[in-house]
Amino acid sequence: MSKTAGSIVEAALKRDPHEVEFIQSVQEVVHALERVIAKNSHYVNIMERLLEPERMIIFRVPWVDDRGETHVNRGFRVQFNQAVGPCRGGIRFHPLMNLSIAKFLGFEQTLKNALSPYKLGGAAGGSDFDPKGKSDNEIMRFCQSFMNEIYRYLGPDKDLPSEEMGVGTREMGYLFGQYRRLAGHFQGSFTGPRIFWSGSSLRTEATGYGLVFFAQLMLTDMNKDLKGLRCVISGSGKIAMHVLEKLIAYGALPITVSVRFSILVNGSPSGFFNSSRGLCQGNPLSPLLFVIVMEAVSRLMDRAIEGQNLVGFTWAMPQKVIELLACAGGGIIADIEIEIFGMLPLYACCGLFGENTIDGYLKEDYSKTYARSKYYDEAKPWNERCDVAFPCACQNEIDQADAINLVNSGCRVLIEGSNMPCTPEAVDVLRKANILIAPAMAAGAGGAFDDMEE
């Protein structure tokens, strides 16, 4: 790194020596811009100003559990930059959430939003609250307490919160409901998948679909195509599942996927499926059935949310998933005609239910349905033979050893779905092996595009 670029990193390190994730993000961005900074010395002062957030909010979040006991968590909101417009960024609920991660996410979101044609700044926040294992009422009380403190900093002209790890439709609904009550107006201040409280119909799919579109454009530039390519995916959230869905639509072979929700061991998914013939590629009809099932589930959940009775609704789904859907439907699913095709749609399960409902079922039934598939516990997918990798779990999920495995597996392209998924050592290994890396700031900008539409 040049002396000029190095001075920028040194200044950030001197100011925040203990913020590991944020410093790593700064180093990566400055390294990428090193040549530009060397030719344009006036950018040094701009970078130094950019690296200091406009506002950092740290607050206490007290809440009461179902036993009447009081707990206290820490909340964060970093409004990183509003130079081009109001802030936009996710809210993350995870026990490892801290100020460093909030700053790193806000910094990356600022650059990601700047790449979109819309005028949006960057922000990020959340809490070290762990929603796993909590009841709906406990999560509601926590979200309301969280919003009590932060609502005054939000608004369509100030800051637009969005979903992130540990925060889905349920949590965003609780947060928005409390914001509306406190602010006294119903404005499109939140981004999310539910149209009836300011979301858009494509928000859930936007980031995952965008990753696949970006990958296809990269491959087209290389005179290649996604069709028939082996793809490995990590993660089990909405990004990973919609990457899986769109890869199948493109004719690619997604051969791995994580199956446990938000369970991280040393920053990595705790297990994954592998199928040498591709997920949902067990027979010629299975991709079509996969799409049919997803369409049916989408219509089902939309009707359930709107309070419609689902008498006579027909779709292909394993019996166990039918039972889970019936429970999720809040008692309004009255009489459903079932046709079982003996296949397990991973997207439908992973995208709709919690980790305690289907984990064991996924391992047992998917492996039975597709004899060539294998389940690996406490493992990563990066040593599987592949052409394209989609890390969609969390930051730093690919370390140096994983990068070496990717090189040895034949991977030629890596599409970043999660923010900063590779450690600096991993990036060095991948670059030396001439593996093309699509940074999340560009490849994952589909969500930013859709948010402005909302």
* C-alpha triplet 271, 415, 217: angle, nearest 5°: 140
Nearest-angstrom CA–CA distance, 165 and 445: 16
| H-helix segments, 387-445 | 400-408, 424-432, 440-443
* Residue 294 to residues 324, 349, 373, Cα–Cα distance (Å): 15, 10, 21
* Residue 326 to residues 301, 336, 350, Cα–Cα distance (Å): 11, 9, 16
Task: For residue 76, give the nearest of 60, 52, 95, 54 by alpha carbon.
Answer: 60
SS3 sequence of 330-381: CCCCCCEEEECCCCCCHHHHHHHCCHHHHHHHHHHHHHHHCCCCEEEECCCC
| 8 Å CB contact between 26 and 107 | yes
144 is in an annotated binding site: no
Q: Which two tokens stand for residue 206?
A: 């936007």
Helix-then-strand count for the chain, H and E:
18, 16
207 is in an annotated binding site: yes
109 is in an annotated binding site: yes
Map residue 92 onto helix, strand or coil.
strand
| 8 Å CB contact between 1 and 30 | yes
* C-alpha triplet 345, 410, 211: angle, nearest 5°: 50
Nearest-angstrom CA–CA distance, 324 and 320: 6
> Using alpha carbons only, how large is the chain's radius of gyration in Å?
22
Residue 230: CB partners within 8 Å, gap ≥ 6? 252, 253, 255, 278, 384, 385, 386, 387, 388
Q: Which two tokens stand for residue 193?
A: 């998948």
Q: List phi, psi (to 5°) of 316.
A: -95, 120
Percent composition of the chain: helix, strand, coil (DSSP 3-state, to 5): 45, 20, 35
User: Binding site membership for NAD(+): which residues?
Assistant: 207
User: Binding site membership: which residues?
Assistant: 109, 112, 207
User: Binding site membership for substrate: which residues?
Assistant: 109, 112
